């Protein structure tokens, strides 16, 4: 759910882009297509999925695909099915994550699992993945199908790995963390860029640079998202990762430095009170690790922008740069 706030940060930049009207038009067309797909799900599931679609963030993955598609020299293939596939994959992963996390809210609304139960939520996520697979044939022979299959596999492995390591100090580390956010977040953003560029007829070597850009963007995006867990601005109580035994970069940095036994024991505690979570948040905030993560976000964002060097200056390249800069700027 924290990603709704991250997407607002991004929107501030996109609204200033000369591409904004075109982006709004194509994203509106994509939403119409998603609503039509939801109507095939039966009354109850249709209502739940339609509600989630209408609440749905800023469509970062299809947005990236469309921008990179426009950078290609040929647009013989329709980009809309690809955009739908990316959004369907992402939304399905959110629904499944909500079940795993026993989450009550998503994008400021009750989750499907909270309203209908886990069984209905899992069915809803599976339905979206099935609808995504119906569109794969449109890109046969381009490598897009294989790319999305690989990303789907890695997202699943990433989630399973993270869940298996909850509360376990000996298995969570900074290196492991970066590997997980690459699988769970960065690879889909990276694939969105690459697939969009390939659909637009771009040379694979140049598309590969956009893929690298997307991966850096994804890492910065997740780091920013993790920082928001220490603020009230996400529209929910902060500290959900700490509560669930998932250690993100701020906590992992403190662990590497060495923790007092009392803090270590509290982090490992499976059932924490609200006061205990707040105590851990204060401990993190009283250190310098949040500032260090801010510096890391800025550094990785600069690396992402560097991947755009060599592309002809255009509205599209500027939009990609603006997306990264929106994450690099420190948020109050």
What CATH code is carried by the domain that includes residue 75?
1.10.600.10
Number of domains in the chain: 1
Neighbours of 240 (CB within 10 A): 16
In whole numbers, what is the pLDDT of the chain averaged over residues? 88
pLDDT in tens, 187-246: 999 999 999 999 999 999 999 999 999 999 999 999 998 998 887 654 456 888 999 899
* 3-state SS class at 106: strand
Note down the domain range covering 59: 3-326
Pairwise CA distance, residues 172 & 121, whole Å = 29
Which pLDDT value is given to residue 56?
58
- Would you say 193 and 214 are in contact if contact means Cβ atoms under 8 Å apart? yes
pTM for the whole structure? 0.89
- Residue 5: which of 297, 232, 308 has the closest Cα? 232
Furthest CA-CA distance within the chain: 62
Q: Locate tokens 């924290």: which residue?
A: 2
pLDDT in tens, 133-153: 999 999 999 999 999 999 999
Task: Locate 306 and state its tokens.
Answer: 């560097």
Whole-angstrom CA distances from 74 to 23, 95, 205 are 19, 35, 16
Which pLDDT value is given to residue 4?
41
Residue 298 lies in a domain: yes
Which pLDDT value is given to residue 57?
66
Neighbours of 239 (CB within 10 A): 19
Model confidence at 130: pLDDT above 80: yes
Residue 331 lies in a domain: no
């Amino acid at each position: 759910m924290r990603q709704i706030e991250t997407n607002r940060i991004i929107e501030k930049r996109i609204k200033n882009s000369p591409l904004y009207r075109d982006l709004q038009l194509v994203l509106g067309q994509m939403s119409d297509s998603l609503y039509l797909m939801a109507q095939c799900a039966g009354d109850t599931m249709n209502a739940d999925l339609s509600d989630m679609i209408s609440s749905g963030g800023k469509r970062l993955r299809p947005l990236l695909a469309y921008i990179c598609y426009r950078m290609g020299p040929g647009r013989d293939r329709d980009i809309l099915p690809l955009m739908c596939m990316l959004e369907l994959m992402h939304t399905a992963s959110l629904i499944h994550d909500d079940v795993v996390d026993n989450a009550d809210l998503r994008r400021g609304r009750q989750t499907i699992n909270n309203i209908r139960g886990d069984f209905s939520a899992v069915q809803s996520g599976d339905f979206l993945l099935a609808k995504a697979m119906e569109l794969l044939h449109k890109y046969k022979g381009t490598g897009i199908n294989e790319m999305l299959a690989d990303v789907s596999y890695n997202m699943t492995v990433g989630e399973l790995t993270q869940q298996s390591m909850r509360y376990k100090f000996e298995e969570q580390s900074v290196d492991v963390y970066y590997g997980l956010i690459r699988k769970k977040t960065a690879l889909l953003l990276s694939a969105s860029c690459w697939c969009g560029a390939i659909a637009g007829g771009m040379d694979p070597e140049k598309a590969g640079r956009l893929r690298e850009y997307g991966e850096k963007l994804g890492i910065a995006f997740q780091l920013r998202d993790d920082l928001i867990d220490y603020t009230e601005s996400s529209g929910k109580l902060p500290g959900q990762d700490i509560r669930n035994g998932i250690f993100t970069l701020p906590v992992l940095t403190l662990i590497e430095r060495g923790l007092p036994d009392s803090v270590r024991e509290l982090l490992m505690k499976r059932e924490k009170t609200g006061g205990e979570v707040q105590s851990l948040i204060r401990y993190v905030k009283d250190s310098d690790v949040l500032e260090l993560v801010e510096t890391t976000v800025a550094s990785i964002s600069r690396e992402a922008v560097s991947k755009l060097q060599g592309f002809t200056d255009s509205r599209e390249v500027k939009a990609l740069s603006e997306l990264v800069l929106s994450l690099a700027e420190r948020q109050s």
